[in-house]
Structure 1
Amino acid sequence: MRSIVLTKGVPDFSEGAVSFDEDGHLERGKTPTVMNPNDAFALEAALQTKIRHGGHVSGMSMGPPGYADVLEGAMKSVYADDSYLLSDRELAASDTWATAITLSAGLEKYQEEVADVDIVFAGFKTADGETGQTGPQTCWAMDWPIVTHVIALEIDPDERMLRAKRLVEGDVDEIETVEASLPCFVVTDPEFEPTYRKASHRLTHKRLRAETEERAEEHDEHLTTWDHVDLNLDPDYIGLDGSPTIVSSVDPIPKAPSEREATMIDPDDGMGEVLEEMQPYAVEVSD
């Protein structure tokens, strides 16, 4: 069983240091980057597949050279065997469509030069874009079946079939079971939880973790980087030039005003004032 996990670096909004240029484009070189939180569920699904069925897992990302750190983190999470980074300046400022074209080219090159792929896993949306389009658009370019919002899955390697439970949101959330032939795309939902019922699965999990800790220490030796020339991509159809989405403006999100008043108390002299203030709210407790 051979899987690829698509993952992405996103701005670390918690740092409060997101930087944009004068045209409203994100300056990723000046913004701290972390792995997209929703990709963690795709990683868990790929890891479950590897532990249950064996095989090979690769991480793949499109972005600047610094995304190698994101892929290293993905390797540690999913115990991946290797990583692939699609990166050069021609790919900068891609929207979801241009990103999907690039990722599909990376997947096709992987299949031509490395091995056939059984499943591609992706998170259902990114923290910076919130569109949920890249996974399905990449799948459309590959012309494969896709199952979205997956919360559990089983694979029959002999029948080349995937059976998944997916969350359907409506007036009342429902769970439906669907099947798809391999190869296919799986977009995980945040409700996905891996299951390891057999002792052999848990032992395999422990063994793979130990192996990956050693491999991740030398991540550069397991990283392959492809640029747009390697992928045979026309610059007119990738990056900013190949992105039909137009961002008219970007406004920073202001901090919410504080609605609480704070009074500073000297712990040596002011505890009496605190007790006096709280006493009216005290409730007598009986045995």
Structure 2
Amino acid sequence: MRSIALTKGVPDFSEGAVSFNEEGHLERGKTPTVMNPNDAFALEAALQTRVRHGGHVSAMSMGPPGYASVLEEAMESVYADDTYLLSDRELAASDTWATAITLSAGLEKYQEEVGDIDLVFAGFKTADGETGQTGPQTSWAMDWPIVTHVIALDIDPDERILRAKRLVEGDVDEIETVEAPLPCFVVTDPEFEPRYRKASHRLTHKRLRAETQRRADDHEEQLTTWDHEALNLDPDYIGLDGSPTIVSSVDPIPKAPSEREATMIDFDDGEAMGEVLEEMQPYAAGGD
């Protein structure tokens, strides 16, 4: 069983980490990059599949050289054997379509040089784009079946069939059980939870974790980087030039108005500190 887990780096949107300029626009150069949170569920699904059925798992991403750290985090999460970064200036400013074209080229090259892929796991959507299009578009480019909103899955290796439960949202949330032939794409839902009920699975999980911790120390030795030339991609069909999406406008994020009055207190001012303590005591005692 050979699987690919796709992941992406996104700005760290946690409180205090995001940097905006005076116009309210995100400053990516001053904002830390982290692994896309929704990708964690895809990585868990890939790891569960490996624990249950063995095989080889690789992590793949498209982005600048700095995304190597995101792939290192992915390796530690999915216990990947190796990682692949699709990185090139020609790939900059890609929309979801150009990204899907690039990722599909990376998957095809992987199959040529490493081995046939059985499963590709992708996250539900990214924290910076929120479109949820890249996984489905990449599966379309590969002409493979896709199962989305997956909350549970298993593989029949003899029949080469994926059996999955997927969440269907409508007037009433429903769970649908589906089958798909391999190779196929799996887009996990945030409701996905890995399950390791057998003792043998838990022992395998522990062994793989120990092996990966040693391997991650030399992460760069397991990293392969491919540029657009290695992927045989025409610059006219990738990056900004190959992106049909047109951004009509960008609205700055308005700064929230201050709704609280702040009183500055000097720590050495004993009288003022006493007033603060007197003000806070009722709340510390559980008062209103």
**Does the C-alpha gap of structure 1 residues 223 and 174 become closer, same or farther in structure 2, counting only changes over 3 Å?**
same
Write the mapping of 1:15-54 to structure 2, written as runs, cut at 5 A.
15-17=17-19, 28-54=28-54
Deviations 1:83-135 (A, max 9, x none): 00001100000000000000000000101111000000000100000000000
Contact 1:12 1:18 in 2 (8 A): no
TM-score (norm 1): 0.90
In structure 2, distance between residues paired with 1:127 and 1:271:
41
1:268 counterpart = 2:261:
no
1:226 counterpart = 2:239:
no
Q: Which moved more, 1:267-276 or 1:41-50?
A: 267-276
Contact 2:11 2:18 in 1 (8 A): no
Aligned length: 279
Q: How many percent of aligned residue pairs carry the same amino acid?
A: 83
In structure 2, distance between residues paired with 1:136 and 1:63:
19
In structure 1, distance between residues paired with 2:234 and 2:279:
72
Q: Which moved more, 1:34-43 or 1:254-263?
A: 254-263
In structure 2, distance between residues paired with 1:20 and 1:106:
39
Aligned residue number for residue 269 of structure 2: none
Q: Which moved more, 1:270-279 or 1:228-237?
A: 270-279
In structure 1, distance between residues paired with 2:175 and 2:61:
30
**Does the C-alpha gap of structure 1 residues 51 and 264 become closer, same or farther in structure 2, counting only changes over 3 Å?**
same
3-state DSSP of counterpart to 1:247: coil
TM-score (norm 2): 0.90
Structure 1 gaps of 5+ residues are 283-287
1:120 counterpart = 2:120:
yes
Aligned residue number for residue 152 of structure 2: 152
Write the mapping of 1:50-65 to structure 2, written as runs, cut at 5 A.
50-65=50-65
Aligned residue number for residue 259 of structure 1: 259
1:172 counterpart = 2:178:
no
- 1:272: how far off? 3.8
Contact 1:19 1:31 in 2 (8 A): no
Q: Which moved more, 1:241-250 or 1:262-271?
A: 262-271
**Does the C-alpha gap of structure 1 residues 268 and 125 become closer, same or farther in structure 2, counting only changes over 3 Å?**
same
In structure 2, distance between residues paired with 1:33 and 1:84:
18
Structure 1 stretches of 4+ with a deviation exceeding 2 A read 18-21, 26-31, 248-252, 254-279
Deviations 1:8-56 (A, max 9, x none): 00111231225799xx8x7754542110000000000000001000000
Deviations 1:165-202 (A, max 9, x none): 00000111110000000000000000000000001111
Q: Which moved more, 1:113-122 or 1:264-273?
A: 264-273
3-state DSSP of counterpart to 1:166: strand
3-state DSSP of counterpart to 2:274: coil
Aligned residue number for residue 181 of structure 1: 181
Aligned residue number for residue 268 of structure 2: none
In structure 1, distance between residues paired with 2:98 and 2:22:
20
- 1:269: how far off? 4.3
Aligned residue number for residue 101 of structure 1: 101
Q: Which moved more, 1:263-272 or 1:9-18?
A: 263-272
**Does the C-alpha gap of structure 1 residues 258 and 224 become closer, same or farther in structure 2, counting only changes over 3 Å?**
same
Aligned residue number for residue 131 of structure 2: 131
Q: Which moved more, 1:3-12 or 1:252-261?
A: 252-261
In structure 1, distance between residues paired with 2:170 and 2:134:
23
Contact 2:19 2:28 in 1 (8 A): no
Indicate the RMSD between aligned Cα atoms, in angstroms.
Answer: 2.4
In structure 2, distance between residues paired with 1:173 and 1:135:
22
Q: Which moved more, 1:30-39 or 1:41-50?
A: 30-39
